[in-house]
Chain A
Amino acid sequence: MKAKLWGVRGSLPAPYTPEYLEKKVRGLLQDYGEYLKDNAEGDVDGFLNQTERHRYQGFGGHTACVEISTDSSQLVIDGGSGLRRLGEKMMLGPAGLGRGEMHILMTHFHWDHIIGLPFFIPLFVPGNDIHFYAVQEDLEERIRAVFRKPNFPVPYEALPSKIHYHQIAARQPKAVGDIVVTPYELDHPDPCWGLRIENKGRVLTYAVDTECNRLSRKEMGEDAKLYENSHVLIFDAQYSFLEAAEKVNWGHASAPVGLDLAIREGIERVYFVHHDPAASDEKIMKSAAQTAEYFNKLKETYVKKNEPLPNVEWSFAPEGITIEI
Chain B
Amino acid sequence: MKQFEVEAEQSGEQLTLRFSGFLNEEADFTQIPESQAQNVALNLEQLEGSNSLGLKKWISWITPVSQTAQITIEKAPPEIVNQMSILSGFVPKGAKVSSIFVPYYCDSCGHEENILFENGSGFVTGTAATKPGYRIDDRPCTQCGADAEADVLPEAYFKFLFQK
Contact = CB atoms under 8 A, between A and B. Distances in A.
Interface of A: 212, 215-216, 219, 241-242, 245-246, 254, 256-257, 259-261, 263-264, 290, 293-294, 297-298, 301-302, 305, 307
Interface of B: 1, 24-26, 48-49, 51-53, 55-57, 59, 79, 82-83, 86-89, 156
Contacts of A241: 52, 55, 87-89
A294 B52 contact: yes
Contacts of B52: 241, 254, 256-257, 259-260, 294
A143 to B, nearest CB: 35
A298 B51 contact: yes
A307 B1 contact: yes
Contact of B57 (A215, A261, A297): A215
Contact of A293 (B53, B79, B86): B86
Contact of B88 (A219, A242, A264, A305): A242
Contacts of B57: 215
Question: Which 7 pairs show the lowest CB-CB distances between chains A and B?
Answer: A256-B52, A215-B25, A301-B49, A242-B88, A216-B25, A241-B87, A245-B89
Contact of A298 (B26, B49, B89, B156): B49
A246 B59 CA distance: 10
A316 to B, nearest CB: 16
Contact of A301 (B53, B55, B79, B156): B79
B72 to A, nearest CB: 21
B60 to A, nearest CB: 9
Nearest to B163: A242
Contacts of B55: 241
B38 to A, nearest CB: 25
A257 to B, nearest CB: 5
A318 B89 CA distance: 28
Given A216-B25, A301-B79, A305-B1, A294 B56 contact: no
A290 B86 contact: yes
A298 to B, nearest CB: 6
B29 to A, nearest CB: 12
B159 to A, nearest CB: 10
A216 B59 contact: no
Given A298-B51, A307-B1, A245 B56 contact: yes
Contacts of B48: 301, 305
A134 to B, nearest CB: 29
Contact of B26 (A216, A245, A290, A302): A216
Contact of B86 (A219, A264, A297): A297
A290 B49 CA distance: 18
Contacts of A254: 52
16 contacts: A212-B56, A215-B25, A215-B57, A241-B87, A256-B87, A257-B52, A260-B24, A260-B25, A260-B51, A260-B53, A263-B51, A294-B86, A297-B83, A298-B49, A298-B51, A302-B1
B86 A257 contact: no
Given A242-B89, A245-B59, A297 B51 contact: no
Contact of A215 (B53, B82, B88): B53
Contacts of A259: 52
Contacts of A261: 53
Contacts of B79: 297, 301
A272 B155 CA distance: 28
Contacts of B49: 298, 301-302
A172 B25 CA distance: 27
Nearest to A255: B52
Contacts of B51: 256, 260, 263, 298
A212 B25 CA distance: 11
